[in-house]
Homo-oligomer: A and B are copies of this chain.
Amino acid sequence: MKLKEIVQKSETPAGKTFDVLVLALIIYSLFSLSVETIPDLPKDFYKFLKISEVVVMVLFTIEYILRIITSEKKLAYIFSFHGIIDFVAIAPFYLSLGIDLRGIRAFRLFKVFRILKLTRYTKAIERFGKALVLAREEVIIFALATGILLYLSAVGIYYFEHQAQPEIFKSIPHSLWWAVATLTTVGYGDVYPVTAGGKIFTFFILMIGLGIVAVPAGLLASALSKIRRDMEKGS
């Protein structure tokens, strides 16, 4: 059957074209989702986005139905990882037709799940998953160490800065925000120590912290390099 080859296989020219079309639809759809939040655009543009959203949804539905039809084991597809994602990508649209959900702000958040449709076209998650498994233990260890470090940083800075800046370092949970912004070196500049004690504490926490927070990325890079080397040897 010709249709099956187009939908299910990506080696044939027709199959490739089908894949590229679906991919383009996903990307346009994500782009449209973000653009429609911009205020002060011309009214016609919003109307265009609304109509294109309906078109995209109809096309995604056709794709979903095609995938069910062309599957040999239809139920297996429907309850597979990709089957559920394909359903989740269109469900919020049909739900919003039945019930009036447009007013609910959190509703648009569900629409973003269509980004998961990208997983069919990229080996990124698979490869990234392998690297995570390889460097699993160390990543967990450093995630734990990061957690403990953030907690201790927040406790420490709270004791040093609470009296000098009672509004900013209001409590230990509030101080955690400082710990996050500092140890990741983002440093927005909305919270920073002003006392000598707090500054010296920040120095020591940063000296220890950079050696902890930055390590997982190095481990992942090293694990990914190893996976590539193993694959080259195997091939």
Contact = CB atoms under 8 A, between A and B. Distances in A.
Nearest to A122: B144
A219 B210 contact: no
A51 to B, nearest CB: 20
Interface stretch (A42-50, A84-92, A178-186): A178-186
Contact of A185 (B105, B186, B216): B186
Interface in A12-29: none
Q: Is the interface of A mostly helix, strand, loop or mixed?
A: helix
Contact of A115 (B39, B109, B151): B151
Contacts of A62: none
Given A152-B112, A189-B188, A171 B39 contact: yes
Contacts of A64: none
A68 to B, nearest CB: 27
Interface string A169-193: 0111110110011101111111010
Interface string A115-156: 100100011100110000001011101111110100110110
Closest 7 CB pairs of A and B: A218-B221, A189-B189, A34-B172, A186-B187, A214-B217, A37-B171, A38-B171
